[in-house]
Structure 1
Amino acid sequence: MMNKKNAEYKSVIVEGGGYLKRANPTSLHDIFQKYASVEKNGEKFMTSEDFVIRFLGIFDEKSFSKESVNLLAAIVDTSKDGLISYSEFQAFEGLLCFPDALYKTAFQLFDTNGNGMVSFPEFVEVMQKTDLHKRIPFNMDSPFLKLYFGKDKQRLVSYSEFGQFLHDFHEEYAIEGFKRADKNGTGFISVMDFQEIMINIKSHLLTPQVQSHLIETAQGSQGGGSRRVSFPYFIAFNSLLNNMELVKRIYLNVTNGHRTQEVSKEEFMHSAQVMSQMTPLEVDILFHLCDVLHQTGKIVYNDLNSIAPEQYFKQITNRLAEIRAVQSPEDRGLVIQILESAYRFTLGSIAGAVGATAVYPIDLVKTRMQNQRTGSFIGELMYRNSFDCFKKVVRHEGIFGLYRGLVPQLMGVAPEKAIKLTVNDFVRDKFYDRNGNIALYGEIISGACAGGSQVIFTNPLEIVKIRLQVAGEIASGAKVRAWSVVKELGLFGLYKGARACLLRDVPFSAIYFPAYAHTKAALADESGYNHPLSLLVAGAIAGIPAASLVTPADVIKTRLQVVARAGQTTYSGVIDATRKIYKEEGFRAFWKGTIPRVFRSSPQFGVTLVTYELLQRMLYIDFGGTRPSGSELKVLEEVKSRNPDHVGGFSVCLPIFSGIESKFGLCFPKYNVQRTT
């Protein structure tokens, strides 16, 4: 076959609006050579085992079904000679990059002779090798099959037609299962038969919660604890599970995009009739199923997620580490929770350093403005306003003067912001109810705990930073260094002004985090997704009330921590400072530096939070806890296989193969039936 090594490689749009990079041909060729074990006429080839077991890693190398391996490898082996050439390997990589890769792959599975059409014998040959057919044989003389393959079953089916056939076939398979169980033609089957059909034929549509409540749901929905399931109920139940994405859209239409609002059956029914032809029976089943699972009588978005299984593309991507998520955060062990906190702490450290560096010059101006006295110091004011302060610092101390004290700031701000973000997330987890909602008081308490926890890092950091920031005002010629300040203050001196620090940080975080959460939700798009810009704006907006309202506490803290120069008033504590500042400078003195504080804190926390959430997206590890709301990826998540050789289209090969089972219910045995136990 023609070598396609020089073919053009592009980014291809895939499901969800994302882009999948096709592999560089050179690297793809090297990967092929690595796994190809057969050489013929100077050309390397992969065997079925090379591709399915060694390269993809689907089955165990010691025990596997030879038939299953050959079937899956035949999807790539378009020449059907039992060997995979590099050009076939490369062509399949390109096929995987297309939006309809799942259907194309399924079609090539059934096209066993590789002529671009599927015949009835080819369909039967593949179906009879599936576990499903072995459990519940399908009637190959069914009128349904004759509609597609013709009365004499000689008609060949093209790719586009076969995609529709495969989609409809599984619905027909369920009906066939019902007919087999309803031997007397009464239109009813037992709940046990219903459970068996759903588990054997429709298992790919069942979450563990739904599967464990099938009998209870069927009995309750049929009324009076009935032991029988009618055909209309059976069809409606399957239709509901098939259309859960539509159900979610109906819910979001009722709530205007909010995911925590409870919706009654009447509200949902009204929206369902406006948006679609969802039947009253399907709505009844939905609400009864939710009531069986959660017993509330109303539904929230989390209820729908517990009914709808993850899409096939996400089946392999929902674990990026060996640590497995559990059904709820409360079920996790202590070690897992500690690991999650360490993970969040690390990301919070990075985010805090980025945010602090971005706004440090504004922080320096804010500190100098707050330290400027008017009542006790004789002489002309050094700075007329914040802008004047900025200009004079640059003129007399240089551009690096704006970054005095940055090093200790970074050394302290990393753990400070990290512990604040980590504690806020940790405490919020404790306040979530089973519907995924958190009350406002829970948000406020979480934020307050976060603010209180950071003082252990904040106070020593800020007292050193403040003394370095105001050192440039004193024309002594001697450089003031961080270590000398630490030695001068001692351990207890580093916590001077800690009460004022608590008075500032606790209310700041109690205001900031709830404001951020609600602003972020308001700025999310209709699917609940936040773009980086909306995260940045939400963080900045939330910082305005939080930073401004706690400025008096910040002024008091600054006065307590700075070294008073000759002639300046000294303070013995929070109350003493409050009284003297008010007496000497008036009420307005408590609001000094409000503007630079807002201009510093607002963008700093905006940058910090957007960095924190983007890091959680890019470096996401599922510990079974919560993720930042509205931060979930909207586009297709990139598959992270353990095998670094899965590049380009092959990065989604595993979920595509998994999708053949989860989308169409086709499962092939993984082990030889002859194997010894």
Structure 2
Amino acid sequence: MFNSLLNSVISQAHCQEGAGYLKRADTDRLHEIFLKFATVDKNGEKFITSEDFVRKFLGLFDEDDYNKQSVELIAGIVDMDKNGLISFPEFQAFEGLLCVPDALYKTAFQLFDTNGNGLVAFDEFAEVMNKTVLNKKLPFNMESTFVRLYFGKDKKRLVTYSEFSQFLHDFHEEYGVEAFKKCDKDGSGFISAADFKEIMLSIKSHLLTKEMKAKVIDTSNFPQGTRKISFPYYMAFTSLLNNMELIKRVYLNATNGHRTQEVTKEEFLHSAQMMSQITPLEVDILYMLCDAIHNTNGRIVYNDLNTITPEQYFKQVTRRVAEIKAVSSPEDRGVLIQILESTYRFTLGAIGGAVGASAVYPIDLVKTRMQNQRTGSFIGEVAYRNSFDCFKKVIRHEGVFGLYRGLIPQLIGVAPEKAIKLTVNDLVRDKFMDKKGNISIWAEVLAGGCAGGSQVVFTNPLEIVKIRLQVAGEIAGGSKVSALSVVKELGLFGLYKGAKACLLRDVPFSAIYFPAYAHVKTKFADENGYNHPLTLLAAGAIAGIPAASLVTPADVIKTRLQVVARSGQTTYNGVWDAARKIYAEEGARAFWKGAVARVFRSSPQFGVTLVTYEILQRLFYVDFGGSRPTGSELHVSSPIEEVVKKPHHIGGYQVAIPVLTGLETKFGISLPRFSIAKPAPPQ
């Protein structure tokens, strides 16, 4: 009874402390989940066993020959009574613990506090350490001065949580120093390159990426220029690995926040001396590592730093907490905040659309004139042999500015067009997205199609004016045509002439484009999920190729319906009439006129538009408390992605796996998974 009361108090304290981090505390939901995994009924009270909690709820150690001691140690973090059974108050208390900012240290403390008295004795520390994978490889000297300083000369001193957190912080560094001393048998202050590699791969392996291990540590030519490693070099090397997040901040300080700007060693040193205690030797090693992995030739960029050490656990937790807040908070925001957010996105979309439209407008003009050129019923020579011939003749007869006929109304209309397109796509995606941020491919296609359909209200008037201005220059000596005169001539309903064809073009285009862009962008991202602006541009251009080319027939029909027919040219009464007459008079190939120009226009246009939009989000991101727009954050694959897939993980438990993973990535505490050695694979 006392323990249940104690655990409830602890749970409330933890949840209050973590309230600023997680606002989804739902005791009833948590109890419902608890009952699904509770398999033991004792005196009318339900309990979860250690195996059920670790193997079924957390999804760890799911092998048949799992290590039972490791499972008991992990479950002991939650099992405060240390009786092998987890009650709901204990389950709830651990949920609260995961919400607090020092969750990793508190979790580690409870791992070593095996008797649950709130203090760690030397015997408890030694018991847990002796079961770790690391200690089995390289046993730690439990009689060292370091241990005695924390636990006392007779090792009888009990260590509090705050003291133990400092002990853990220093312990792994001491572990490395102890390993160096063991390898330096003659006390020369040097160890062999082979011993150095052994220490790195055994003790510091959790601080190394696969790329670092393969291209640096495991290579025969490392360390370069020497077969011996000095103690200062070793300390600088390990310090660099431990402080990589600080190294990244030094880089960003040197570049004023730009991630693609190259930085020399001298520039980096200058920035380091301004804001940290990074030594010149550490900087030398940093540039050596970057050059070994990426052949940087003395100049590094931010992405080079990501390949040295893996992402630390606290970044994973921070991102997951942000995701939870983003999912749970939109309905709590005021109307004014949501209006400001919409205005912000509208502005960025307008700028991106204007940049994209301007960049490829000459190609768009050539495409329009090629599609409007008749080859069947019109008597006389064709004006243009191909797109390149059209481009040359426009410049020759109308000047360079002739390539930009109709640009002004295009820019005026592109802002609401892009804004409504992006807004509707996001809105529909949100409706079909589950609570964990997953969306099916058919929902992505539907969202894109809805976005394409919604934009026609702006696109059709915009394009009919643009097209008539673009072809006006073909009539020699013709009267000057302005956007205002076209609008007056057409009237409100005339501005929507060809709207059906516009729908036939824009709906499938967006249905193809948006999902393709999202998936291609993911493929082009680096191992940390970051997209360089060039990869964003490439993703936008590649996604535009199938989208633009496959809807060319609808674009040809739309162009013919919206252009004023000249004397002797065939007139059309609607989409199907135009399709029938074009096929009868000019053949099937006529439907693909301007396809090349369309691809060369649409692909780079949308590439430039979206890369501009996403870069603006990165540079000028404003947090309105809702979900972050695509491009304003860096998505990094991590153990969290596995947690997100677990429907029973809510609240603090959504970060349970990253926190437990942090025991290894931060402190190197790795428990064996198997009870027996797995057989060696056949040769």
Question: What TM-score comes out, normalization by structure 1 length?
Answer: 0.67
> What runs of 5+ residues in structure 1 fail to find an aligned partner?
320-342, 472-478, 534-610, 618-627
Separation in structure 2 between the aligned mates of residue 668 and residue 122 of structure 1, nearest angstrom: 15
Shift in Å, 1:122 = 1.5
- Measure how far apart 1:248 and its partner are: 1.3
What count of residue pairs does the alignment treat as equivalent? Answer: 539
Aligned to 1:652: 655
Q: 1:9 and 1:390 mapped to 2: Cα distance?
A: 70
CA contact (8 A) 1:524 1:531 kept: no
Amino acid at match of 2:282: E
Asked whether the equivalents of residues 174 and 197 of structure 1 are also in contact (C-alpha less than 8 Å), the reply is yes
For 2:115 and 2:518, the matched residues in 1 are separated by: 57
User: Match of 1:545?
Assistant: none
* Aligned position for 2:304: 303
Retained in 1: the 8 A contact 2:446–2:511?
Answer: no
Determine helix, strand or coil for the equivalent of 1:307. Answer: coil
1:413 and 2:509 equivalent? Answer: yes
List per-residue Cα deviations over 1:32-63 (Å, max 9, x = no partner): 11211111111111111111112212113521
For 1:287 and 1:352, how far apart are their aligned partners in 2?
Answer: 45
Does the CA contact (< 8 Å) of 1:35 and 1:51 recur in 2?
A: yes
Structure 1 partner of 2:41: 39
What corresponds to 2:279 in structure 1? 279
In the other structure, the counterpart of 2:163 is 161
Q: In structure 1, what is the equivalent of residue 600 of structure 2?
A: 506
Instruction: Name the counterpart of 1:364.
Output: 460
TM alignment of 1:362-511, pairs within 5 A: 362-370=458-466, 384=484, 392-393=492-493, 407-415=503-511, 417-418=513-514, 421=517, 453-465=546-558, 482-483=575-576, 485-490=578-583, 496=590, 498-500=592-594, 502-503=596-597, 505-507=599-601, 509-510=603-604
Alpha carbons of structure 1 residues 506 and 346: separation in structure 2 relative to 1, 3 Å: farther
8 Å CA contact 2:536, 2:607 repeated in 1: yes
C-alpha distance in structure 1 between counterparts of 2:142 and 2:536, whole Å: 59
Judge conservation of contact 1:131–1:669 (CA < 8 Å) in 2. yes
Give 1:385 deviation, angstroms: 5.5
Residue 86 of structure 2 aligns to a residue whose secondary structure is coil
Structure 2 distance, partners of 1:507, 1:169, is 60
Compared CA separation, residues 481 and 87, structure 1 to 2 (3 A):
farther
Distance 1:423 1:36, change over 3 A: closer
Give the match for residue 117 of structure 2: 115
- Kindly indicate whether the alpha-carbon contact (under 8 Å) linking 2:14 and 2:97 is maintained by their aligned counterparts in 1: no
Kindly tell me: are residues 401 and 118 of structure 1, through their superposed partners in 2, closer, same or farther at Cα, counting changes over 3 Å?
Answer: farther
Contact 1:96 1:650 in 2 (8 A): yes
Structure 1 residue 660, shift from structure 2 partner: 0.7
Q: 1:275 to 1:648 in 2, by over 3 A?
A: same
> Residues 10-29 of structure 1: matches in 2 within 5 Å?
19-29=21-31
Deviation of 1:305 after TM superposition, in Å, equals: 0.9
Indicate if the aligned counterparts of 1:213 and 1:292 stay in contact, CA closer than 8 A: yes
SS in 2 for 1:39: strand
User: How do 1:78-157 and structure 2 match up within 5 A?
Assistant: 78-157=80-159
Give the aligned residue type for 1:649. Answer: G
Q: Which residue of 1 aligns with 2:229?
A: 229
1:57 and 2:59 correspond = yes
Compared CA separation, residues 524 and 425, structure 1 to 2 (3 A): closer
Listed as ranges, the matches of 1:62-77 within 5 Å are 62-77=64-79
* Residues 204-225 of structure 1: CA deviation (Å, up to 9, x unaligned): 111122223555789755x63x
1:89-134 CA deviation, whole Å, 9 max, x = no partner? Answer: 1111121122221111111111111121212221112111112112
Aligned partner of residue 189 in structure 1, secondary structure: strand
Please show how residues 660-671 of structure 1 align to structure 2 within 5 Å.
Answer: 660-671=663-674
Q: CA deviation at 1:22?
A: 3.8
Alignment of 1:515-594 (within 5 A): 516-517=610-611, 520-521=614-615, 524-525=618-619
Q: CA deviation at 1:485?
A: 4.9
Name the CA distance, whole Å, in 2 between partners of 1:290 and 1:35: 48
1:176 to 156, 178, 181: 178
SS in 2 for 1:76: coil
Match of 1:312 in 2: 313
> What amino acid sits opposite 2:162 in the alignment?
S
SS of the aligned residue for 2:166 comes to helix
Unaligned runs of 5+ in 2: 321-438, 565-571
Q: Which amino acid aligns with 1:180?
A: K
One-letter amino acid of the counterpart of residue 305, structure 2:
L
Distance 1:157 1:439, change over 3 A: closer
2:434 is matched with which residue? none
Deviation at 1:159, TM superposition (A): 1.5
Kept in 1, the 8 Å contact 2:533–2:615? The answer is no
Aligned in 2, Cα 1:385/1:348: closer, same or farther, shift over 3 Å?
farther
Give the 3 Å change call, closer, same or farther, for CA 411–486 of structure 1 in structure 2: farther
Label 1:416 to 1:27 Cα distance change in 2 as closer, same or farther (>3 A).
closer
Distance 1:61 1:220 in 2: 37
* Aligned residue type for 2:597: L
Q: Distance in 2 between matches of 1:449 and 1:58?
A: 40
Query: Alignment partner of 2:46: what SS?
Result: strand
Q: 1:636 to 1:230 in 2, by over 3 A?
A: closer
Percent sequence identity over aligned pairs: 45
Q: 2:677, 2:539 → 1: CA distance?
A: 58
